[in-house]
Structure 1
Amino acid sequence: MSSARRRSGWLEPTAKGAHVSSGERKQVIKPPAVRPGDVIGIVAPASDIKPERLAAGARELERLGFRVKFSPSIFAREMYLAGSDRRRAEELMAMFGDPEVKAVFAARGGYGSVRLLPYLDEEALRAHPKIFMGYSDITTLLVYFQQRFQWVVFHGPMVTREFADGPEHYDEELLRRTLMRAEPIGEIDTAGVAVLSPGIATGRLTGGCLPLLVSTLGTPYEFDATDAILFLEDYASKPYQVDRMLTQLRDAGKFRAVRGLVFGEMTECLQHPNQDYTIVDVIQDRLADLNVPILFGVRSGHSDYRNQVLPFGVRATLDGYRAKLIIEEAATSKP
């Protein structure tokens, strides 16, 4: 990929229609936006999938104006995985290398993305920046693409989950604004979001599913939270498990240089229905002394209603007085 030099603006053109952000942070590569009629490649990097769920998700993507493409081998299964590690890695590589495919969406999470990493050809991938979207176990790949290639990646709906369930399960307007327009995204809908700690901070938005981020510690793929607006979410972890993971991140120094924290809805993160404390109490107990703004309840990841896509790698502002999250720049470049 050709290098880019800083000019008067924030963005610099680079190869294959992508753009590079300059400044105090590392260069960031923004994939080209998608347009109606573009092909979305569907991959299963983790757990196995059901054909009927994939068909339903594909129909919804077609309703949005896209065409879809997936490998016949996507329905493979080995124990709890969508086929062998090599099959899943080759499927992912093929979608990024296919010139017809303009974006790559994960079919689902589950488990297994981390097992692909040794099989990926970094140089081949680096040459083809594209929109890549998913959450949950896909966090592993979001971190990998961000930190190995400085790509902007997308924490958002998956094909056999939200897309298969229909338009009420994801925020269609935000999806179009984020993936199809190479312009600043602005405020996302934060109705119902709570302020746990006030303040205002601007930084690089990043993060993902809490257990998956913790699992990177001590590995070659460890996530970087320096100068970040760090987004954390999870599903069905017990409060003491969330406490343990937040404590581990503290002990690993991951909160020392964060500028702000944003939590997802933390759906079903409770011990039992009659417990006399909430997951918010746990978060405040572990993090209140950080003296950074903290929001709780953004609908991205494991959320049952209007799942929101969040672009990781772009500049964002967390307003801990008005409970607002503002994406300050475009997440894509012009195709």
Structure 2
Amino acid sequence: MITPAYPPKPAPGDRIAVISPSGGLPGLLPLPYELGLRRLREEYGLEPVEYPATRRMDATPQERADDIHAAFADPEVKAVIASIGGSDQITVLPLLDRELIRARPKPFIGMSDNTNLLAYLYNTGIVGYHGASVMAELGRPVALHPQTADSLRAALFTSGEYELRPAERWRDTSRDWADPATFDAEPETRPGTGWTWMNADQIVEGRGWGGCLEIIGWLLMADREISHDLSDYDGQVLFLETSEEMPSGEEVFRTLRGMGERGLLRRFSALLMGRPKTWDFARPNSPEEGARYAAEQRTAVQRALKAYAPDLLTVFDVDLGHTDPQLVIPYGGTIRVDGFARRITVTY
């Protein structure tokens, strides 16, 4: 396995590619997208560069692959960020030119369905960044969550250690992105509840690998971007989270069981489990219903770990993935988990 290396970082004033490797939602819902572009310019000092498929819902996998190639090949572009996620990025992976991308490594920032491209970059030897998208995080009504803004700034522009901290306030509900009134009010948040630690009598450090659990399951089924030499994952830090589709606890268990039966789960030195999203327009759970769903998921994870990795250092409700705030996780970068001090430190 090629050990992923950190690509050169951009600086304020540089150009950043904005691509839609999954769905072209910017064309359907321009309000959060345009707000996110403005924040890239005004708050981060970067100049967004769009591509032919960025705002196209009907873009083919080849057209999206072409945009990825163009973004990485352009020497004037210093970083790449996804507009949003989706559900079919796995169809783009076979069309990518690994040598073209390897020749011009640069930071890629995305999450959810972009787990596909992050895993691909990992196997290409490039550290990526599981984190903010233009629409969901940069397009947040009124202002970015301060913890999201700080984490993204550190990931974009710095290369040192960064300590992740539990959210002081968080939320997982949303309002209609098509309604201009959505962007007139700060989202409602709840007090933070901290992280929950298990097997915390140890300190581990390793490369980060994982992402959206549903996408990891699809990659396993398609036999893509998962090494057949499981020793490649020895000592690494697994991080996982679930999407707005809110898979049942049983589905979460079955995916983890598949990883366990493959011999994968026991290879990792720690697991960071993201705070699950418990609300969606299709399933507008009450706070009590959401709490039950989150508890069901935690029980499913614990059940799988008991069977396949009972001593694994595990942290639940880490603020990564489909939540707000969203802390950026270096995909292939160094993560240190200190169970004694209850600290998680990443290297951007």
Give the alignment's TM-score, normalised by structure 2: 0.80
Of 98, 121, 128, the match for 1:145 = 121
**How many aligned positions are there?**
298
Of 306, 312, 316, the match for 1:292 = 312
Q: What are the Cα deviations for residues 147-166 of structure 1, in whole angstroms up to 9, with x where unaligned?
A: 1x211110000011111114
**Alignment check: 8 A CA contact 2:19 2:83 kept:** yes
1:67 maps onto 2:47 in alignment? yes
Q: What are the Cα deviations for residues 43-73 of structure 1, in whole angstroms up to 9, with x where unaligned?
A: 0011221341321210111122111110244
**Alignment check: 8 A CA contact 2:20 2:53 kept:** no
3-state SS of the aligned residue for 1:306? coil
- Alignment-derived partner of residue 11 in structure 2: 35
> Where do 5+ consecutive residues of structure 2 fail to align?
168-193
- Alignment-derived partner of residue 127 in structure 1: 103
Going from structure 1 to structure 2, the CA distance change for 1:74 and 1:197 (only over 3 Å counts) comes to: same
The residue type paired with residue 204 of structure 1 is: R
Runs of 4+ in 1 over 4 A off after TM superposition: 269-272, 274-277
Q: What are the Cα deviations for residues 215-265 of structure 1, in whole angstroms up to 9, with x where unaligned?
A: 122514225633211001012111111111111111111112111111000
Alignment of structure 1 residues 110-259 onto 2, 5 Å: 110-147=86-123, 149-165=124-140, 166-168=143-145, 171-182=148-159, 184-191=160-167, 192-198=194-200, 199-217=202-220, 219-222=223-226, 225-235=233-243, 236-259=246-269
User: Post-superposition shift, 1:131?
Assistant: 0.4
3-state SS of the aligned residue for 1:41? strand
The residue type paired with residue 217 of structure 1 is: L
The residue type paired with residue 267 of structure 2 is: A
User: Post-superposition shift, 1:300?
Assistant: 1.4
Give me the whole-angstrom Cα distance separating, in 1, the residues matched to 2:60 and 2:21.
10
1:322 maps onto 2:341 in alignment? yes
The residue type paired with residue 218 of structure 2 is: S
Identity %: 29
Give me the whole-angstrom Cα distance separating, in 1, the residues matched to 2:241 and 2:60.
28
3-state SS of the aligned residue for 1:207? strand
Going from structure 1 to structure 2, the CA distance change for 1:56 and 1:205 (only over 3 Å counts) comes to: same
3-state SS of the aligned residue for 2:268? coil
Going from structure 1 to structure 2, the CA distance change for 1:278 and 1:265 (only over 3 Å counts) comes to: same
Of 246, 250, 263, the match for 2:273 = 263
User: Post-superposition shift, 1:74?
Assistant: 2.0
**Alignment check: 8 A CA contact 2:102 2:125 kept:** no
User: Post-superposition shift, 1:28?
Assistant: 2.8
Give me the whole-angstrom Cα distance separating, in 2, the residues matched to 1:134 and 1:185.
20
3-state SS of the aligned residue for 2:34? helix
3-state SS of the aligned residue for 1:163? coil
Give me the whole-angstrom Cα distance separating, in 1, the residues matched to 2:52 and 2:219.
31
User: Post-superposition shift, 1:170?
Assistant: 5.7
**Alignment check: 8 A CA contact 1:46 1:113 kept:** yes
Give me the whole-angstrom Cα distance separating, in 2, the residues matched to 1:28 and 1:48.
29
User: Post-superposition shift, 1:169?
Assistant: 7.3
The residue type paired with residue 194 of structure 1 is: T
The residue type paired with residue 231 of structure 1 is: F
Give me the whole-angstrom Cα distance separating, in 2, the residues matched to 1:43 and 1:170.
24
- Alignment-derived partner of residue 11 in structure 1: none
Give me the whole-angstrom Cα distance separating, in 1, the residues matched to 2:217 and 2:248.
15
- Alignment-derived partner of residue 278 in structure 1: 296
**Structure 1 range deviating more: 67-76 or 92-101:** 67-76
1:302 maps onto 2:342 in alignment? no
Going from structure 1 to structure 2, the CA distance change for 1:220 and 1:243 (only over 3 Å counts) comes to: closer
Give me the whole-angstrom Cα distance separating, in 2, the residues matched to 1:275 and 1:104.
37
RMSD: 2.2
Give me the whole-angstrom Cα distance separating, in 1, the residues matched to 2:333 and 2:109.
15
Give me the whole-angstrom Cα distance separating, in 2, the residues matched to 1:242 and 1:179.
32
The residue type paired with residue 196 of structure 1 is: M
Going from structure 1 to structure 2, the CA distance change for 1:261 and 1:151 (only over 3 Å counts) comes to: same
